[in-house]
Amino acid sequence: MTDLKNIKSLNDWRKFRDEIQSVVLDVLQEWPPEHAELQVKVLDEVQFAGYVRRRVNYFVDEWERVTAWMFVPEDRDEMPAILCCHQTVPQGKDEPAGLEGDPNLAFAQHYAELGYVTLAPDCITAGERVSVGLQPFDTANFYKDYPRMSAMGKMLWDHMHALDVLCDTRRVDSARIGVVGHSLGGYNALLLSAFDERVQACVASCAFTRFADDPEPERWARENWFVHLPKLRPAIKKRRFPFDWEHILALAAPIPLLLLTASNDDVFPHAESCQKASQTARTVYRLLGATEALECHTHDYGHQMTPETLARSDDWFERWL
């Protein structure tokens, strides 16, 4: 894989971008040939002070409907919107909706209160998408149904449909779409930013350690439970990776990306690895005239979002959306 530090010009980047994208897509495996017709349905609606919370569902392929929480502020037009990706919790979308879980991760409710339309869907194997007879995040049935896809590729595909929903929502300014996530939600947010140009700002909290620096890279291609990227197994065994997280960050350029990483993260250790990835990807951001659009902030609060890091996220979206 191309060392991003060797890219010296925009012509170099144009040449290698397609190569990088192709390599990543190969690991993500196949997608359906076209987006599904959404056919959004509102299942229920509750009025709160300043916004409405709706439970909606919509198609992400020919037969599967995904359920999500949508928050719509009142009495505003042409509003920015934020897709809120949940972490690895059984309740899935209910945590960003503020119904249960960590209140600092109640992104959908929080940003609705700040004037953004928000959407928080369930990922495969979480919330209302847990397979009957299996534990949350067990992907065994997923791979029976989608043998040519990866779980990460499927989550990316589903989040693209979530952006379709936001862009089709009345009073949303489709030119001002952001995405936010922590842990699982963080790396889903980064992948979406890399592969969907509709994203105009991203905040990813505690999202990764570079594969090459990770003491447990096997996490990305387990033999069972939550199997992210099966095609990465041979690379993990050889410790020679076809791409790394700096390539994902570069693919997102020049989208404004805020990376929040912890010096004492017990899930994704080595904060300096995240810093290294951002420094390397900044080569591409610089060529595109967007050096200030990539920022990596390191804290010492561990694998969590705190009021301080949430405030940084607020400032980021306020600045770029």
Q: Two tokens at 253?
A: 């350029």
Smallest CA-to-CA distance from 3 within 270, 234, 212, 292 is with: 212
Range of the structural domain that residue 101 is part of: 4-320
- pLDDT string in tens for the chain (321-residue length): 668 888 999 999 999 999 999 999 999 999 888 899 999 999 999 999 999 999 999 999 989 999 999 999 998 889 999 999 999 999 999 999 999 999 999 999 999 999 999 999 999 999 999 999 999 999 999 999 999 999 999 999 999 999 999 999 999 999 999 999 999 999 999 999 999 999 999 999 999 999 999 999 999 999 999 999 999 999 999 999 999 999 999 999 999 999 999 999 999 998 999 999 999 999 999 999 999 999 999 999 999 999 999 999 999 999 999
pLDDT recorded at residue 116: 98
pLDDT recorded at residue 3: 81
| CATH number assigned to the domain comprising residue 67 | 3.40.50.1820
Distance (Å, whole) CA 26 – CA 207: 21
pLDDT recorded at residue 136: 97
> For residues 273 and 296, is the Cβ–Cβ distance under 8 A?
no
pLDDT recorded at residue 1: 67
| Phi, psi of 295, deg, nearest 5 | -135, 135
pLDDT recorded at residue 193: 98
Query: Could you give the residue ranges of the DSSP H alpha helices within the chain?
Result: 10-28, 107-113, 140-145, 151-168, 184-195, 233-238, 245-252, 271-287, 307-320
> For residues 119 and 165, is the Cβ–Cβ distance under 8 A?
yes
| Phi, psi of 219, deg, nearest 5 | -55, -30
Quick one: residue 195, left, alpha or beta (phi over 0 = left, psi -120 to 50 = alpha)?
alpha
Distance (Å, whole) CA 295 – CA 56: 34
Whether the full predicted model's pTM is greater than 0.75, yes or no, is: yes
The tally of domains found in the chain comes to 1
